[in-house]
Structure 1
Amino acid sequence: MRDAYRDTPGRGAAGRRPAGRRPAPRRSGRPDRAASVARIAVCLASAAVMVTSGVGWFAYHWVNNGLITSSALDALRKGAPPKLDDSVNLLLIGLDSRKDMDGNDLPKEFVQQELHAGSSEIGGYNTNTLILMHIPADGGKVTAFSIPRDDYVEIAGGRGEHKIKEAYGIAKAEAEDKLAAQGVKGAELEHRSREAGREATLATVQNFLGVPIDHFAEVNLLGFYDIAKVVQPVQVCLRKPVKDRYSGADFPAGPQELNARQALAFVRQRHGLTNGDLDRTHRQQAFLSSVTHKLKDEGVWSDLGKLQGLFDVVKKDIVLDNRWNILDFAQQAPNLTGGKAEFHTLPIAGFAKRKGEDVNLVDVEKVRSLVQSMIGQKQKGDSAPQSSGDSSSSAPAVPPDAAGTTVDVHNASGSRGGAAAESKALASLGYTAGQIANAPTSHTTSVRYGSGSQAAAQQIASRFGVSAAPDPAVPAGHVLVTLGVGYHTQSAPEPKPSDKPGTPDSAKPSDPAPASSEDFQGPSVKMGGVPCVD
């Protein structure tokens, strides 16, 4: 395989980009240019089916030769929540970028006229599409979760709270500054700084949902357009007519067939929709269902000649993680194309203004519990879904030498008694209580640690849904917890003597819990046909 991004930039917190250099985050009021992830799943599913359809060894190696791969997941795997079986969690990333793989602007006329996407200067590196797909090991129903792009969450790497879509661009900008100062430039600068963006996105989603990410695929705006050209026309269905000058969407109600340009407009529209971005996620889900349904009906999955155009695009426009084994994936993917898949949009808790931007407020504990229960991420014998504070599921177990770690708690939340209560809760888990103090108000909760305290800091950070970061100012053997406004914790269960960090009681998960449409943001979309959406 071609590994275009093997050299990954250094980890750790990075300095911010000097004023005037970092692209400004896109405000929710500007025209949306999000790319759908339909093209990713289409290509990956087609690869899987091709391998199992008798095309053979030659076709398998032809597919793998020339793929663009990334090692961004490597840094996350060691500290990921434990795997309970051989199921696969796949993150699909739609990158809102009008640049090619080397960072060059796409032709202006193409972006404006064919993509109807305005200027190459807008969009930046926001991940406007994030979908986690859970593919069971036993061939059961595929469950997918769309994460609204404006969810206001803690960004991995101690970067504070931002819209989840901004994790990629923030980390990329930081890495770009550091690498440029070292003399890195051109395509190499673009490749290596994008790796930092991918790693931050993957870590942020994994921390947010509390489940491990096994594989990922990333595609940008051009990638979707190229694949849409290969599979056009694609049938979709609308409940009512729409016309939107921003995305270029102009469609009547009812079923209709779309070409590549219209497909982009269909999945990008948010203006004029009752629930804006949230309704747009249902468009993305419906389009994915329609594409896979069409390719299945036309027998494309088992025809190497018909698949060649798709794979030419995969090799040019899509980035996959470097440990993706298509043969392994093929054993788990057939249900993706057989109609046994359902898409859900994760719930939000409301809307607010943060740092001058419109954001979605989220209940992290509720979202984690919902996702984990839906995919069976529970320990044997549990009577309820794992929650964000359960150290046996979403974080390492309490270290056996917890008493050797002193935890200082500072209260920056503005509420009285928070630091004392949290210090007491941590002491009940076996940690040594340290300093309790007030601190200037902060909107983010942070966990920092001195040398020798990383394991303890990671377990403690999981209680708040944040990442732990090293800090030379924190004494050796200490962890400093700073409670931000609106912080939430849930006490972890009392550890058993047999507990080992990162090891569950049983390697077999319990059955996934049922969920109703009321648990999610709007109706779910079932694959296997051409669903009608707003």
Structure 2
Amino acid sequence: MHGVLRVVVRTTWIALSAVVLVAAGVAWTTYREVDAGIRRSTAIPTDAPRSSSGTTVLVMGLTTRRDLDGGTPPDDVLDALHAGDVDRGGYNANALIVLHLPAGAGGAKALSLPRDNNAPLLGIPGGPQRGKVKEAYGRAKAAVERTLPTTLDPAEQEWLGREAGRRAQVETVQALLGVPIDHLAEVSMVGFHHLTEALGGIDVCLNRATADPHSGADFPAGPQHLTPAQSLAFVRQRHGLPNGDLDRTRRQQAFLSALLHRLRSEGPAALGPVAEVAKHNVVLSEGWDVLAAVQGVPGVTFTTLPLVPEDEPDAGPALRAAVTAALRPSGPSGPGAAPSPIPCVD
């Protein structure tokens, strides 16, 4: 049995799905069983540029309400999402995190890329486009699906479209930030719901009471246990918060901080129910051994990259400078210091 691994990216909800298989120290046989069952992507070519000082992973959270085969979730799941009908939201990569795992000793770095940064969108058939960085996935998926035979099995069409989206999102992010991407991890909104359902919700703390009809959030102030449906509303809420998306990011950080605290307290038993669910809701790069990648990493430093104003002609220089600064080595008392297990947030 592996000890509790202290590598959980807490900048956004998608990070839970990227490392949830190993964050609590799953038994080796259980880990291998789950690892073999997870869907694998070949969107990153084997001859693509690679990181020279470790492993860099792009973690993506999709807005789609559909499952991995393009199917429609049951009505009770859609009701729990509180996010409209199945086609609302498209396939934007609303959560984007670049996770850098060092080759030697030292902590990992998790860089959250704001979804609304304008960028050249690469990897889309027909040539580069411009738009918000989150849009590369959905635009590439739609463009490729228009070229596929109408007789193709719908699940295969969905997979091929998503593979195109993954390729485009990886190319767009690595060009914008100036870093190679070695691997990817992906989960959708409905996938996150199923994972939190398997966990039975999570404990959080709020500085003040808040309510938002858009996300379904309706919480009192103070410490509280959230149901799975409430957990999704908690990490999705941005309306009614003082700083909008930035406060939503802090919500997501608090959620994952609380999850890590729970996993450390309860050990592998807390993760057991998630294993089977992950097989049907998480996509990882072909050939990526997650356990080998994170084992022994002592912690994570968390950084949110800037949101460059829309009137700037090129967001790349500011973002690349921020990435360079964030990836500099830091001591244990620096930004990577452990947060409160369950921090109170707005």
1:369 aligns with 2:321: yes
- Pick one of 195, 201, 206 that aligns with 2:174: 206
Contact 1:39 1:223 in 2 (8 A): no
Deviation of 1:98 (Å): 1.1
1:234 aligns with 2:202: yes
Q: 2-side partners of 1:240 and 1:60: how far apart? A: 39
- Pick one of 41, 56, 65 that aligns with 1:89: 56
Q: Secondary structure at the match of 2:187?
A: strand
Contact 1:348 1:362 in 2 (8 A): no
Q: Secondary structure at the match of 2:99?
A: strand
Q: TM-score, normalised by structure 1?
A: 0.58
Cross-structure match for 2:106: 140
Cross-structure match for 2:40: 69
Cross-structure match for 2:276: 312
Q: 2-side partners of 1:269 and 1:341: how far apart? A: 25
Deviation of 1:133 (Å): 1.5
Q: 1:364 to 1:513 in 2, by over 3 A?
A: farther
Deviation of 1:351 (Å): 4.8
What amino acid is the match of 1:239? N
1:45 aligns with 2:22: yes
Deviation of 1:309 (Å): 1.6
Q: 1:232 to 1:362 in 2, by over 3 A?
A: farther
Structure 1 residues 273-306: Cα deviation after superposition (integer angstroms, max 9, x where no partner): 2222222122212211111111111122xx5xx5
Cross-structure match for 1:126: 92
Q: Secondary structure at the match of 1:320?
A: strand
Q: 2-side partners of 1:240 and 1:156: how far apart? A: 42
1:246 aligns with 2:214: yes
Deviation of 1:322 (Å): 0.4
Contact 1:37 1:288 in 2 (8 A): no
Q: 2-side partners of 1:109 and 1:62: how far apart? A: 29
Q: 1:180 to 1:270 in 2, by over 3 A?
A: farther
Q: Secondary structure at the match of 2:82?
A: coil
Structure 1 residues 160-204: Cα deviation after superposition (integer angstroms, max 9, x where no partner): 2111111111000000001136x4341111111110001101111
1:268 aligns with 2:245: no
Q: 1-side partners of 2:113 and 2:313: how far apart? A: 12
Higher CA-based Rg? 1
Structure 1 residues 384-418: Cα deviation after superposition (integer angstroms, max 9, x where no partner): xxxxxxxxxxxxxxxxxxxxxxxxxxxxxxxxxxx
Q: Secondary structure at the match of 1:161?
A: strand
Matches within 5 A, 1:94-493: 94-111=61-78, 113-157=79-123, 158-180=127-149, 183-300=151-268, 303=269, 306-333=270-297, 335=298, 340-351=299-310, 363-376=315-328
1:531 aligns with 2:343: yes
Q: Percent identity?
A: 42
Q: 2-side partners of 1:120 and 1:311: how far apart? A: 25
How many residues are matched?
332
Contact 2:101 2:294 in 1 (8 A): no
Q: 1:202 to 1:369 in 2, by over 3 A?
A: same
Q: 2-side partners of 1:294 and 1:362: how far apart? A: 42
Q: 1-side partners of 2:314 and 2:209: how far apart? A: 31
Q: Secondary structure at the match of 1:350?
A: coil
Cross-structure match for 2:5: none
Q: Secondary structure at the match of 2:302?
A: strand
Contact 2:15 2:59 in 1 (8 A): no
Q: Where does the alignment leave 5 or more consecutive residues of structure 2 unmatched?
A: 1-11
Q: 1:105 to 1:115 in 2, by over 3 A?
A: same
What amino acid is the match of 1:36? W
Q: TM-score, normalised by structure 2?
A: 0.87
What amino acid is the match of 1:71? T
Contact 2:184 2:284 in 1 (8 A): yes
Contact 1:94 1:127 in 2 (8 A): yes
Contact 2:101 2:293 in 1 (8 A): no
Contact 2:51 2:181 in 1 (8 A): no
